[in-house]
Amino acid sequence: KFCSFGQLTLSANEFGAEYAWSTGESDREIIVNTLDTFWVKVTTAENCELSDTTIVYEDTLLIDLGEDASFCEGDSVIIDAGDFVTEIWNSSDTSSTLSVNQSDTITVLAIDSEGCFGIDTMVVTQNPTPSLSLTQQDSAICDLIGETTSASVLNPEDMDIIWSTGESGETTTVSDTGWVKATKTNEFECSAKDSVFVDRECEEKTFTLPNIFTPDDDGTNETFIPIEDPISLSTYFSVIQFIVYNRWGRIVYMSKDKLPYWEGIYQDTGESCPSGTYFWIVDYRTIYGEPKKLNGYVQLVRKSGT
């Protein structure tokens, strides 16, 4: 075998003999540069005749850089010419691999240990990467009570937008704290990312119980309940236990897992408690789950006969 544009020396291994080649030459060695079948007849000094035949074929060095490639702006592509003695790129680089970070037509010449060479070319294309900006800055919500916020892409450009919330499109609703990330992808599958941080910020609230109530069936101030809106309170608190004592320390009323509510009656008998001072304790948990305790007193006032 020989390389393209090369030549090959054929030799007879008998010395001091007469040689007759198929090419018409009569030397022990001949040089060929064509693809063909060659034979030689050798007549030794003892008048013995020997012959042999060889086929000369072309050894083409195959270089395969692969399919033409594309990559996104800001990235690069690595082209591998293979493992040869010498690689020469059209950029004058001589390493076996080449890193390309812009559009170009890449050509490599590779040479093997026998001096055979091959050439291949690849076209690499740099595709544009989109830009992405969110309209929101870092913000805070109280997710523990169901507060939400939203995030939007400033420049959607009719591209595919995927959010870390699982939603797609220009805007997403955020109900959890943490990083909210958006990814915008163009027709070349090139992507840009942006994110904002949503922190947890819940208002520390408390509740107030009155120091007097009048359960006398006149429709006013009939029950001992918190002054604040009960719906709002139930959002921010979870009451564990509410206990009312009389002045001698006897429990007259107790409830669990609900806001304080007392109508001024003995829980065990259902009879009305007399006017006087009563003491109360509330064990509850804040919106963060922290255990708290409130205590105080209330004056129960009844009109005569009630």
Helix (H) or strand (E) holding 162, with range, is strand 160-163
In this structure, are 185 and 123 located in the same domain?
no
214-225 pLDDT, tens digit per residue, is 998 888 999 999
Q: Are 144 and 200 in contact (CB under 8 A)?
A: yes
Cβ atoms of 141 and 200 within 8 Å: the answer is: yes
Distance CA 85, CA 285 (A): 76
Whether 109 and 179 map to the same domain: the answer is no
Residues 184 and 235 in one domain: no
Number of neighbouring beta carbons within 10 Å of residue 232: 13
For 209-254, what is each residue's pLDDT tens digit? Answer: 999 999 988 889 999 999 998 888 888 888 899 999 999 999 999 9
Distance CA 181, CA 167 (A): 11
Q: How many domains are contained in the chain?
A: 4
Give yes or no: residues 221 and 182 share one domain. no
Residue 2 in this model has a pLDDT that exceeds 70: no
CA distances from 200 to 137, 155, 163, 167, 232 (A): 15, 28, 20, 21, 19
Q: Is 108 found in the same domain as 148?
A: no
Residue 2 counted as domain residue: no
Tell me the pairing of strands 104-111 and 139-141.
Answer: unpaired
Q: What is the rounded distance in angstroms from the CA atom of residue 121 to the CA atom of residue 63?
A: 9
The one-letter amino acid code at 140 reads: A
45: left (phi over 0), alpha (psi -120 to 50) or beta: alpha
Question: Which ranges in 105-237 belong to alpha helices (H)?
Answer: 230-236
Main-chain dihedrals φ then ψ at residue 247, nearest 5 degrees = -70, -15
In a domain, 30, yes or no: yes
Q: What is the pLDDT of residue 39?
A: 92
* 77-106 per-position pLDDT tens digit: 999 998 888 888 998 899 999 999 999 999
Distance from C-alpha of 35 to C-alpha of 141, rounded to nearest angstrom: 82
**In terms of domains, do 287 and 227 share one?**
yes
pLDDT at residue 277 greater than cutoff 80: yes
**179 found inside a domain:** yes
Establish if 259 belongs to a structural domain. yes
User: For residue 244, how many other CB atoms are within 10 A of its CB?
Assistant: 24
Residues 232 and 284 in one domain: yes
**134 within a domain of the structure (yes/no):** no
Residue 206 lies in a domain: no
* Residue range(s) defining the domain that contains residue 123: 69-127
Are residues 237 and 288 both part of a single domain?
yes
pLDDT digits (tens, 9 = 90+) for 254-264: 999 999 999 99
> What whole-number percentage of the chain has pLDDT above 70?
95
Rounded CA separation 211/242 (Å): 16
77 in the same domain as 27: no
Strand partners, 104: 124
Q: Both tokens of residue 172?
A: 């997403």
Yes or no: say if 303 and 216 are a contact pair by the CB < 8 Å rule. Answer: yes
